Structure 1
Amino acid sequence: MKYGCQSMVGEIEAILIKRPQEAFISQENLDKTWEEFKYFGCPDYETVLKEYEVFEKIIRDNVKEVYTLPYDSRTGLDSIYAHDPLKITKKGAIYFPMGKVLRGKEYLATREYLESIGIPTLGEIKAPGKMEGGDVLWIDEKTVAIGRGYRTNDEGIRQFKELTKDVVEEYIIIPMPHGDGVDACLHLMSIISFVDYDKAVVYSKYMPVFFREYLIDKGITLIEADDDEYDYLGTNLLALKPGKVVFIKGCPKVQKKLENLGVEVLTYEGKELSYRGTGGPTCLTAPLFRK
């Protein structure tokens, strides 16, 4: 099968998701485990299923090939956020033993499944290195920005560079802020989402000045999210193709700015599915092949 995703906005032709039935499993399971996963309240399982039905329909209506991860006992609630255990390069998948301890074995389940459908493995980040997919942002096919924070460390970055040295020309290392603390889910992709080759939604308050200036110098229009909409995942958007995105309902200011710039916005209710676990539409998906 075709694979390779060294872009954040090229049209998605193949994608990986995991349904709540295989990740959240049941209300009983949510009741028992949401606190250890540090969710913002316990999700209502029936509401999650309804929200996900709308989300999945958007994905299936816009992506040719949709693959679904099966249940795996090595994973927990957060495995619904399929983006973080890996990145797909032109040479294969790189897997991450993630910084959040409860997600440490997720990459094993994802690797097993993707190898079964024909996606080769380029390598994996090994301890003491750690890395999460939300910290790896393709600026273009040859340029990647990596957030260095609590979830991705220097050794993880060193190993990633070694694995990708044949397909990447420039690495931009972005120091991440302390934010809401060690346990908070703060990735580089928490503060920036490309919606087109020359447009990105950003939360500048958490963005280093040099990186913000770098983006502006490259001619990228920065669409600013305020504090309230940032807190409701207003900077977490999935580009289905250039100028067409999936977005959580509840961030009208960012949505209006996008639509004024000609970006098509498809929305889903995501309070129980996305907000409680801090995982928007980017987190819920792992694109396998972008044009």
Structure 2
Amino acid sequence: MKYDSQSMVSTIGSILIKHPKDAFISQENLKEKHEEFNYIGCPDYEKVLEEYKTFEQIIKDYVENIYYLPKDDNTGLDSIYTHDTAKITSKGAIYFPMGKRLRRGEPEATKEYLESIGIPTLGQIKGKGKMEGGDVVWIDEETVAIGRGYRTNDEGIKQFKELVKDFVKEVIVVQLPHAEGPDECLHLMSIISMVDRDLAVVYSKYMPVFFRDYLLEKGIKLIEVNDKEYEYLGSNVLALSPRKCLMLKGNPITKKKLIEAGAEVFEYEGYDLSYRGTGGPTCLTMPLYRK
């Protein structure tokens, strides 16, 4: 089993996803639980399945090995967003305790499954540490940016730094804004998606000046997302390989800018699958190995 995902843009060789039938379960389950998970209305289960079919087919077309996280009674609706429970490094997986209380059962379920397919554990964020995968963005294989916000705290970042100190040269801590408050899902990956080593989709309004300047100084071209498309997850873009990316349909301005920058763009309808739960294509996927 090959593993190593210290990149946001290299070609995905293996990926972990979770089918909505194993996370959302049924329309009745969604009706009962969507409010406590802070969803934007109740997803239509049949529409979710239709949207996921398209999303899944694109993944199948461009990723060689697909692994499915199984149903687990200790997890809830948000377990469909496989990206958040861990990061896969060249030395193994680092598991996160999750800043959102309702997601506390997910890391152990993910750990049990990944170990069963041959991915070793490098470590876990423990004690008072909080962290979610959506706050960890690889700028390159030796440089990682971590969002410090409501889902990731200083103790979590301290422990992560210790775990990666032997193979990561630079850890950049990016202070996230209060924005809509602690109940909203704001990760660093909400405001930046790397599409290539020198290309990123960003929502600069929520980005600290030092970090934006840093990206520009690194020679990274920034594709700016406007307010309307940010709200519809326009800055949440998954790189399947350099400049070959997947995004939520309904963000035409961002899509046009990506194409003009030389990117190939694939889309899926995701109003019920992604928008209502505030989780785009990066959230729905955990790359296990990038070539």
| TM-score after normalising by structure 1 | 1.00
Counterpart in the other structure of 2:289: 289
SS at 1:177 equivalent: coil
Displacement after TM superposition at 1:74 (Å): 0.7
Q: Read off the aligned partner of 2:102 and give its amino acid letter.
A: L
Q: Deviations over 1:149-205 (max 9, x none)?
A: 000000000000111111101010000000100100000000000111100000000
Tell me, in whole angstroms, the C-alpha distance in 1 between the residues paired with 2:181 and 2:144: 25
Counterpart in the other structure of 1:80: 80
Counterpart in the other structure of 1:231: 231
Q: 1:98-137 to 2 correspondence within 5 Å?
A: 98-137=98-137
Tell me, in whole angstroms, the C-alpha distance in 2 between the residues paired with 1:278 and 1:127: 28
Q: Read off the aligned partner of 2:116 and give its amino acid letter.
A: S
Q: Deviations over 1:255-277 (max 9, x none)?
A: 00001111000000000000000
- Structure 1 ranges of 4+ moved more than 4 A: none
Tell me, in whole angstroms, the C-alpha distance in 2 between the residues paired with 1:121 and 1:254: 37
Q: 1:38-187 to 2 correspondence within 5 Å?
A: 38-187=38-187
Tell me, in whole angstroms, the C-alpha distance in 1 between the residues paired with 2:256 and 2:158: 40
SS at 1:250 equivalent: coil
Counterpart in the other structure of 2:20: 20
SS at 1:222 equivalent: strand
Q: Is 1:202 aligned to 2:211, yes or no? A: no
SS at 1:84 equivalent: helix
Q: Deviations over 1:102-146 (max 9, x none)?
A: 001100000000000000000100020010000000010100000
Tell me, in whole angstroms, the C-alpha distance in 2 between the residues paired with 1:275 and 1:167: 36
Tell me, in whole angstroms, the C-alpha distance in 1 between the residues paired with 2:21 and 2:251: 27
Q: How many residue pairs end up in the alignment? A: 291
Tell me, in whole angstroms, the C-alpha distance in 1 between the residues paired with 2:46 and 2:40: 17
SS at 2:84 equivalent: coil
Tell me, in whole angstroms, the C-alpha distance in 2 between the residues paired with 1:195 and 1:4: 18
Tell me, in whole angstroms, the C-alpha distance in 1 between the residues paired with 2:167 and 2:51: 37
Tell me, in whole angstroms, the C-alpha distance in 2 between the residues paired with 1:82 and 1:172: 24
Displacement after TM superposition at 1:34 (Å): 0.1
Q: Deviations over 1:32-76 (max 9, x none)?
A: 000000000000000000000000000011000000000001100
Gaps of 5+ in 2: none
Q: Read off the aligned partner of 1:158 and give its amino acid letter.
A: K
The percent identity for this pair of structures is 69
Tell me, in whole angstroms, the C-alpha distance in 2 between the residues paired with 1:131 and 1:252: 32
Tell me, in whole angstroms, the C-alpha distance in 2 between the residues paired with 1:110 and 1:244: 27
Counterpart in the other structure of 2:220: 220
Tell me, in whole angstroms, the C-alpha distance in 2 between the residues paired with 1:166 and 1:24: 39
Tell me, in whole angstroms, the C-alpha distance in 1 between the residues paired with 2:185 and 2:112: 26
